[in-house]
Amino acid sequence: MVLAGIGSWYLIQTKKATSPEIHIEPEKKEISEATLVSVYDNYQVDPALKTAWGFGCVIKTSEELILFDTGGDAETLLFNIEKKDIDPKSINKVVISHIHEDHVGGLEGFLEKNSNVTVFIPGSFPNSIRDMITSQGAKFVDVSGPRKISDSVYTTGELYGPPKEQSLIIDSEKGLIVITGCAHPGVVNIVKKARDLMKEDEAYLVMGGFHHPPIAVVKKFRELGVKKVAPSHCTGDPVREAFAEEYKENFIEYGVGKTIEIKNN
Ligand SMILES: [Zn+2]
Ligand SMILES: [Zn+2]
């Protein structure tokens, strides 16, 4: 289901956002295709790309390109983006999950390359980050509650970790796709929040950093109706292996250079 009424307050804000409201609309607009490209991760899938500790993913929809997290440094990030044949200037939105350096560290250098973007930051960020974004000539939006980012792309809003963190939700025809940066609020809580917000009782794919949860997370994912998993970054090898064993062909070995195509066929 779609979070609606959001368009009405979907304004570029230059001051701290007030608490947003969520309205649920009866009709559903789902994305039929999306491509997810890992451009920063400590796990490696394509040896032509560079690895470093952190997370960054480009989401391509029919509407636009969104960068979710910028890794720890812009040099690695931009190198990898270009290796995947993506023009950094074709990205027009950036979403930052949380304040840790391995997610926000590449932002300033990315903006030096392309400032023609809107950056969706957690509202709890200090003003120094807003000042940096505007001094590079880019715009920012403070995110507190859940909201729309793009057609069929939403943020969970800030959930408490610590630190406060937002995760992305893509409402696809195949089901919900949930992308987490580090999952400090707990990956199970994030998946529950995404299902509740979107009025769904399962999720097609959960991917990103899961913040080394207990092995029981695998069973919890099954209970939550998660069909595919692509854990990386801070998930930890034992949990990753447990997911691989349980999910078999629905475990996606995710890491830098990996492209996941979402297609309704
Ligand atoms: Zn973190
Ligand atoms: Zn991290």
| CATH (domain of 91) | 3.60.15.10
Determine the pLDDT at residue 28: 61
72 alpha carbon to ligand 1 midpoint, in Å?
11
DSSP annotation of 89 reads G
* pLDDT at position 17 over 70: no
Give me the residue label for tokens 């959930």: 159
Determine the pLDDT at residue 2: 47
Determine the pLDDT at residue 31: 83
Determine the pLDDT at residue 68: 98
In tens, the pLDDT along 107-151 reads 999 999 999 999 999 999 999 999 999 999 999 999 999 999 999
**How confident is residue 30, by pLDDT bands cut at 50, 70 and 90?**
confident
Cβ-based burial of 190 (10 A; exposed 0-12, middle 13-18, buried ≥19): buried
91 sits in which H/E element = strand 91-95
For range 244-253, the mean pLDDT: 98
- Other CB atoms within a 10 A radius of the CB of residue 62 amount to 10
Q: How many domains are there within the chain? A: 1
Ligand nearest to the CA of 184: 1
Instruction: Give the C-alpha separation, 62 to 81, whole Å.
Output: 19
* pLDDT at position 1 over 80: no
Residue percentage of the chain with pLDDT more than 70: 89
Determine the pLDDT at residue 38: 98
Higher pLDDT, residue 26 or 31: 31
Residue 191: closest CA among 233, 159, 214 = 159
Higher pLDDT, residue 62 or 225: 225
Determine the pLDDT at residue 21: 46
For range 85-108, the mean pLDDT: 98
92 alpha carbon to ligand 2 midpoint, in Å?
23
Question: Per mean pLDDT, which range of 23-27, 108-112, 218-222 is the poorest?
Answer: 23-27
Ligand nearest to the CA of 103: 2
Determine the pLDDT at residue 264: 77
> Coil, strand, or helix at residue 261?
strand
In tens, the pLDDT along 49-61 reads 999 999 999 999 9
Cβ-based burial of 161 (10 A; exposed 0-12, middle 13-18, buried ≥19): middle
**Is the distance from CB of 245 to CB of 253 less than 8 angstroms?**
no
CA distances from 253 to 38, 54, 182, 237, 258 (A): 11, 16, 17, 12, 8
**Is the distance from CB of 94 to CB of 70 less than 8 angstroms?**
yes
- Give the alpha-carbon dihedral of 102, 184, 9, 135, to 10 degrees: -20
Q: Please, which residues bridge with residue 185 across strands?
A: none
84 alpha carbon to ligand 2 midpoint, in Å?
22
211 alpha carbon to ligand 1 midpoint, in Å?
8
CA angle 224/228/229 to nearest 5° reads: 90
Q: Outline where the chain has alpha helix (H).
A: 74-83, 101-104, 107-113, 127-135, 187-198, 217-223, 237-247
Sheet holding 147-150, edge to edge: 147-150, 153-155, 168-172, 175-180, 203-209, 226-232
Determine the pLDDT at residue 249: 98
71 alpha carbon to ligand 1 midpoint, in Å?
11
* pLDDT at position 156 over 80: yes
Domain that holds residue 39: 2-263
Instruction: Give the C-alpha separation, 135 to 108, whole Å.
Output: 10
Instruction: Give the C-alpha separation, 140 to 70, whole Å.
Output: 15
Q: What is the mean pLDDT of the chain?
A: 91
Determine the pLDDT at residue 97: 98
* pLDDT at position 206 over 50: yes
97 alpha carbon to ligand 1 midpoint, in Å?
9
